[in-house]
């Protein structure tokens, strides 16, 4: 298979982990006889420094003409500490999602058995948890009207959803539920918010097309509590942009670390794959970032955008094998991990590539 992939490293550890994600894709191409042609594009702080624009047109043109995108993260302390700066890295992110029509963000939350102890939640609560989040990505309070009034002393952001926005992601989530345990939980705040009442009624209508899927509706506060109390009770979770942003970070604790969670952003055209974590200023440049979220994002890319299930599974198995052999990055290590098994970003990526190679050789 011949495919064009754009790599968007972004800022901070985004660059470090994406190098590993790309290496794994190269390894897959070599082992399975595919041709992946890579190109790179600017986004975020680096793009602002180079062009004044967090998402230059040249980057967008490259993204619109490729088969899939592997993204790192954006963000720089300069902007976090000065909210008055008018041009910001995150604007690149929001523009990219909007321009590429990436309205559904999929976040699989599944704990590798080897990491049961790495989570701050009790292993007996976690074992067997397997959740697939569908977070709406191009609507809600992030894209509604915002501003200041009252001499700048009052600020507002508008939470806004239209029927078609809820319908299109709901259909995707129900279809995914049909291939899993056939349960869908829609999360909203319909007891208070009008946009949530629309959300709930549209999900109820869409549900009629999927009678084999059991649906329940949960308020976001209750969902936040239940996720930690009984994560096994969830299968597919469907929610809006803001609630999804918060709940998926919370759910990352089920997987042991932010460094373990991959995501796919899809719409009607090209798909974008990225770890759920940010640019992590606190560990940037230290070579200790966990690259597994980026590597697992590459696995999602192979499956969802290219339909390469076997290749995708071979990446996931290689991650599993590496963890089984006791290798850890610092964020997922515990007091029982021997020093020599704690790896940096680059070596961890190489370990996964080796495992892919070894399992391919074993099959031949
Ligand atoms: P973050 O996800 O960057 O980091 C949160 C914590 O998790 C930090 O302690 C970090 O060291 C740790 N962590 C994250 N990824 C890790 C990895 N791969 N390996 C090991 N540890 C990891 O979130 P933050 O600190 O709130 O934000 C930092 C910057 O990232 C900000 O500028 C923010 O705006 C940006 N951000 C970007 C995105 C994105 O590009 N999609 C998402 C979230 C935050």
278 pocket-lining for ligand 1 (C-beta < 6 Å): yes
Q: What is the pLDDT of residue 119?
A: 79
- Residue 111 maps to a domain: no
H or E stretch at 7: strand 2-10
- Residue 56 falls inside a structural domain: yes
Q: Are residues 158 and 246 in the same domain?
A: yes
Q: Is the CB of 319 under 6 A from ligand 1?
A: no
- Which domain CATH number covers 83? 3.40.718.10
Whether residues 91 and 1 share a domain: the answer is yes
CA of 277 to the centre of ligand 1 (A): 5
Q: What is the dihedral of CA 44, 45, 49, 55, to 10 degrees?
A: 10
Could you give the number of structural domains in the chain?
A: 2
The tokens 């009678």 sit on which residue?
211
CA of 347 to the centre of ligand 1 (A): 21
User: Which residue's CA is the closest to the ligand 1 atom numbered 7?
Assistant: 258
Active-site residues, by number, are 142, 189, 221, 245, 249
Q: Distance between CA atoms of 193 and 203, rounded to whole angstroms?
A: 15
Q: Is the domain of 240 the same as that of 269?
A: no
Q: Do residues 160 and 51 both lie within one domain?
A: no
**Residue 172, Cβ neighbours under 10 Å: how many?**
18
Do residues 145 and 247 share a domain? yes
Whether residue 188 is found in the same domain as residue 265: no
Q: Which of 223, 238, 254 is the last residue of a domain?
A: 254
The residue whose CA has the least distance to atom 44 of ligand 1 is: 278
- Domain termination site, one of 254, 285, 313: 254
Residue nearest atom 16 in ligand 1 by C-alpha distance: 259
* pLDDT for position 167: 98
Q: Is the CB of 344 under 6 A from ligand 1?
A: no
- Whether residue 333 sits in one domain with residue 230: no
- Quick check: is 247 in a domain? yes
For residue 282, give the ligand 1 atom closest to its CA. Answer: 11
Residue 115 in any domain: the answer is no
Examine the domain organization and report whether 64 and 137 are in the same domain: no
Does the C-beta of 73 come closer than 6 Å to ligand 1?
yes
Ligand 1 atom nearest to 277, measured from its CA: 2
Chunked mean pLDDT (size 10), the chain, 364 residues: 97 97 98 97 96 96 97 93 88 91 94 83 90 95 95 97 98 96 98 98 98 98 96 97 94 83 93 95 96 97 96 97 96 91 98 95 80
Separation of 181 CA from ligand 1 center, angstroms?
A: 31
In a domain, residue 110? The reply is no
User: How far is ligand 1, taken at its centre, from the CA of residue 258, in Å?
Assistant: 8
125 plus 244 within the same structural domain: yes
Q: Which domain holds residue 303?
A: 1-105+261-364
Do 89 and 133 fall into the same domain? no
Same domain (yes/no): 66, 165: no
Does the Cβ of 283 fall within 6 Å of ligand 1? yes
Q: Which residues contact 350 (CB under 8 A, 6 or more apart)?
A: 23
Instruction: Please work out whether the CB of residue 331 comes within 6 Å of at least one atom of ligand 1.
Output: yes
Query: How far does the centroid of ligand 1 lie from the alpha carbon of residue 276, in Å?
Result: 8
Nearest to 72 by CA among 256, 290, 312: 290
Query: Residues 217, 267: one domain?
Result: no
Determine, yes or no, domain membership for 331.
yes
Residue 114 in any domain: the answer is no
**Last residue of one domain, picked from the residues 225, 254, 283:** 254
Write down the pLDDT at residue 132. Answer: 96
DSSP string, 72-87: EE---HHHHT-TT-SS
């Amino acid at each position: 298979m011949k495919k064009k992939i754009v790599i968007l490293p972004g800022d901070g550890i985004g660059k470090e982990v994406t190098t590993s994600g790309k290496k794994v894709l190269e390894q897959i191409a070599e082992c399975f006889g595919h041709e992946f042609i890579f190109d790179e594009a600017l986004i975020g702080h680096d793009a602002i420094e180079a062009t004044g624009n967090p998402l230059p047109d040249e980057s967008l043109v490259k993204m619109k003409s490729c088969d899939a995108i592997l993204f790192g993260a954006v963000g720089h302390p300069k902007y976090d500490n000065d909210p008055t700066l008018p041009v910001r890295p995150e604007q690149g992110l929001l523009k990219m999602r909007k321009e590429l029509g990436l309205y559904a963000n999929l976040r699989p939350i599944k704990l590798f058995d080897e990491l049961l102890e790495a989570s701050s939640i009790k292993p007996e609560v976690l074992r067997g948890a397997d959740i697939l989040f569908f977070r709406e990505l191009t609507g809600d309070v992030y894209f509604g009207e915002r501003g200041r009034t009252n001499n700048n002393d009052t600020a507002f952001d508008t939470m806004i959803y239209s029927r078609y926005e809820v319908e299109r992601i709901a259909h995707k989530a129900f279809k995914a539920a049909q291939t899993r345990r056939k349960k869908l939980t829609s999360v909203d705040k319909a007891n208070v918010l009008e946009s949530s009442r629309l959300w709930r009624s549209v999900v109820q209508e869409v549900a009629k097309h999927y009678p084999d899927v059991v649906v329940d509706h949960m308020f976001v506060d209750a969902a936040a509590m239940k996720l930690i109390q009984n994560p096994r009770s969830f299968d597919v979770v469907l929610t809006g942009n803001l609630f999804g942003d918060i709940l998926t970070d919370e759910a990352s604790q089920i997987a042991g670390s932010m460094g373990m969670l991959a995501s796919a952003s899809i719409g009607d055209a090209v798909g974008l794959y990225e770890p759920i974590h940010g640019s992590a200023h606190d560990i940037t440049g230290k070579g200790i970032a966990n690259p597994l979220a980026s590597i697992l994002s590459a696995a999602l890319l192979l499956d969802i955008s290219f339909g390469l299930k076997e290749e995708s599974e071979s990446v996931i198995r290689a991650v599993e094998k590496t963890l089984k052999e006791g290798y850890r990055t610092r964020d997922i290590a515990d007091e029982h991990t021997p020093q020599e098994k704690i790896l940096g970003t680059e070596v961890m990526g190489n370990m996964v590539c080796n495992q892919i190679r070894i399992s391919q050789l074993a099959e031949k």
